[in-house]
Amino acid sequence: MSQSRKLLNDCFLHDKDRLRHDDVLTLIQKRIGTIVASETVPLAAANGRILAEPVVAPRNVPLSDNAAVDGYAFRHADFDDVGGWFEVADRIAAGHARTTPMPNQTAARIFTGAAMPSGVDTIAMQEDCEPHIQHDRPYVAIPPGLKPGANCRKSGEDVLEGTTVLVPGERLRPQDMAAIASLGIAQVVVFEKLKVALISTGDELLRPALGTLPQPGQVFDSNSFMLKGLLATVPVDVTDFGVLADDAELIRDTLSKAAADFDIILTSGGASRGDEDHVIAALDELGQRHLWQLAIKPGRPMTMGQIGDCIFVGLPGNPVAAFVCFLLYVRQIILRLQGSAWRLPVRFAVSANFGIDKKKPDRREFLRGILGQTETGALGVKKFDRDGSGLITGLREADGLIEIAETATSLQPGEMVNFIPFSEFGLTPR
Ligand code: AMP
Ligand code: MG
């Protein structure tokens, strides 16, 4: 079992005025390493976890040569190209291997998944065969045209003994679970779940509850529900600290306590430098702030910092900005902290069903993209047409993010644009 490692105390420090999107990702990739220890878990509990030790095949899969169909197994050398007659000398079902060789010139009735006995190497499908009884003994007529080894699965054709099937850093998916189980491996070593403290801040915020009616000026705390859902796409344990009022002392005390017990603190709201924004001041007092001025939109300053060995991420309060910053950066940070291999979301080139007259150069824009068809029936994407970063509706209608490069200053309808489906960030499609 490995010990957890400490964070570099300047891991988010950088020397750029305005970080470009790619710089941010490079910083995350280069400066953030695994901080959690590893643990052994039963395979049944490993789906979605990040592997900490390789999985090496202790045996072949399949273990034995076996039947791919229901039929008759025979020795190809006993067969001539015009077909053949065989006495049916055994019946072999899956899970009931025959341990002695089949006599020459005989066939075995065999069923899918049954181990091939020695002495036979080829199977004719039952639909193509004519069984019959002669002198009280079963025979089968096998048609011509079968190649040696037909309808047999070879031992090791899926995985050969000694193969490294999975390497540390891989996130276990259902198909990986199948692969590990097929090897007969009952437990795996994975990285521990990251402990996340989730905090909403704002005097105006109210948690939805039965019978709760908002007073004028109150806003329901939607971010914490959204962020909890987003955090469910990575293997973490989340503790919900609820809503904190805009109160300097309360925020400082809460951050200080959380930093002692958690690997990462994720706040939303209060992260600007207004009079009522106390989160930054608290961070400055307790630890280090490496404020990130990002050359992206949306993504007003997202704040990164550390309080001792705890990472601090301050997300903007506006739901759209919080959502996009989480997908683009927080998710990568969290995966990195718990040993995940580096993987960028895949971008698909899709035809733009919209245009942009004028875009500020030198910043990358991420628009909420809705998939549809172009006039010619190809895949197209349009942007959600209202801009407000408080509009949760746009997040709901979108299928992913449209990425407009720093260098672009306009976009013509029909041009190809980069589109990143939300599924690339681990979200389930609607
Ligand atoms: P702030 O970052 O605190 O200046 O907040 C920016 C905007 O986001 C304000 O309109 C807030 O009311 C809103 N906001 C902040 N936190 C939340 C939250 N947890 N849920 C929904 N809206 C929020
Ligand atoms: Mg606020």
What confidence tens digit (pLDDT) does each residue in 341-360 have? 999 999 999 999 999 999 99
Query: Do 203 and 175 fall into the same domain?
Result: no
Confidence of residue 299 (pLDDT cuts 50, 70, 90): confident
Q: Check pLDDT > 60 for residue 1.
A: no
Query: Do 270 and 305 fall into the same domain?
Result: yes
Confidence of residue 256 (pLDDT cuts 50, 70, 90): very high
What is the residue-averaged pLDDT of the chain? Answer: 94
Spell out the alpha helix ranges (H) of 114-234.
Answer: 174-182, 223-231
Q: Is 126 in the pocket of ligand 1 (CB under 6 A)?
A: no
175 is in which domain, residue-wise? 38-60+165-191
User: What sign has the CA pseudo-torsion 188, 192, 194, 195?
Assistant: positive
In the chain, the amino acid numbered 162 is G
Which ligand is closest to the CA of 315, given by its number?
Answer: 1
Q: Is 246 in the pocket of ligand 1 (CB under 6 A)?
A: no
Q: What angle do CA 342, 27, 263 make, to 5 degrees?
A: 75
| Residue 364 CA, ligand 2 centroid: distance in Å | 26
Q: Tokens 């739901």 sit at which residue?
A: 319
| Residue 267 CA, ligand 2 centroid: distance in Å | 11
Query: Do 180 and 198 fall into the same domain?
Result: no
pLDDT of residue 194: 97
- CB neighbours of 354 closer than 8 A, spacing ≥ 6? 381, 382, 383, 385, 411, 413
Question: Does residue 300 fall inside a structural domain?
Answer: yes
Mean pLDDT within 359-375: 94
| Residue 182 CA, ligand 1 centroid: distance in Å | 49
pTM given for the model: 0.91
pLDDT of residue 2: 63
How many structural domains comprise the chain? 4
Dump strand ranges (E) for 277-346.
288-292, 296-297, 302-307, 310-315
Mutate-to-test residue for ligand 1 from 223, 275, 325, highest number of ligand atoms within 8 A of CB: 223
Mean pLDDT within 255-270: 96
pLDDT of residue 7: 73
Q: How do residues 84-143 score in pLDDT, each as one tens digit?
A: 899 999 999 999 999 999 999 999 999 999 999 999 999 999 999 999 999 999 999 999
pLDDT of residue 413: 96
pLDDT of residue 303: 87
Q: The tokens of 284 are what?
A: 């400055």
Query: Do 216 and 269 fall into the same domain?
Result: yes
Mutate-to-test residue for ligand 1 from 198, 207, 268, 326, highest number of ligand atoms within 8 A of CB: 268
| Residue 318 CA, ligand 2 centroid: distance in Å | 9
Q: How do residues 140-171 score in pLDDT, each as one tens digit?
A: 999 999 999 999 999 999 999 999 999 999 99
Q: The tokens of 391 are what?
A: 């509009």
Task: Name the residue with the closest Cα to ligand 1, atom 14.
Answer: 317
Confidence of residue 300 (pLDDT cuts 50, 70, 90): low
Query: Do 332 and 419 fall into the same domain?
Result: no
pLDDT of residue 80: 72
Q: Is 298 in the pocket of ligand 1 (CB under 6 A)?
A: no
Query: Do 82 and 142 fall into the same domain?
Result: yes
Q: Is 314 in the pocket of ligand 1 (CB under 6 A)?
A: no
CB 69 within 8 A of CB 153: no
Query: Do 202 and 186 fall into the same domain?
Result: no
Mean pLDDT within 376-402: 94
pLDDT of residue 365: 95
Query: Could you count the other beta carbons within 10 Å of the beta carbon of residue 152?
Result: 20
CB 68 within 8 A of CB 150: no
CB 367 within 8 A of CB 404: yes
Taking CA atoms, 241 is separated from 127, 150, 182, in Å, by: 65, 62, 42
Query: Do 172 and 229 fall into the same domain?
Result: no
